[in-house]
Structure 1
């Protein structure tokens, strides 16, 4: 995954549902197609919520990983569907 460069960053650490998803939606809306956002979060429900977000809005989940209670996601904008 080292060859993927995030063009946008979202720090959602310490926030709980639904705030991280709402913040992600705002960032995705303003991104260009094929841009990538890196999200850091501490709420375990973001794993489920971001995956559903990507499936529902036709975005690509490139990476979902957890290390020491911090969840890291890379999401690529694939569609302008909102």
Structure 2
């Protein structure tokens, strides 16, 4: 089996590939970048509202400002 990466420029071309896959002439595999991006988004969205630092929003904002300013100072 040979694996080939193809850039699709037209939806008709994608439909042709799906038709070939339906005929069991080819197999369409998800691209690695698509799979990892979607899975990362799902994993990250599961953390929304889960972080409990004990700090208020203002304290977090102040800490972020301090950290950012450290990058600005000359060393």
**Which TM class, normalised by the smaller chain length?**
0.3 to 0.5
Counting strand residues as a fraction of each chain, which structure ranks higher?
1
Q: In terms of Rg, which structure is larger?
A: 2
Counting helix residues as a fraction of each chain, which structure ranks higher?
2
Compare relative contact order (CA 8 Å, sep 6+) and give the higher one, 1 or 2.
1
Please report the TM-score for the alignment, with normalisation by the length of structure 2.
Answer: 0.34
Please report the TM-score for the alignment, with normalisation by the length of structure 1.
Answer: 0.31
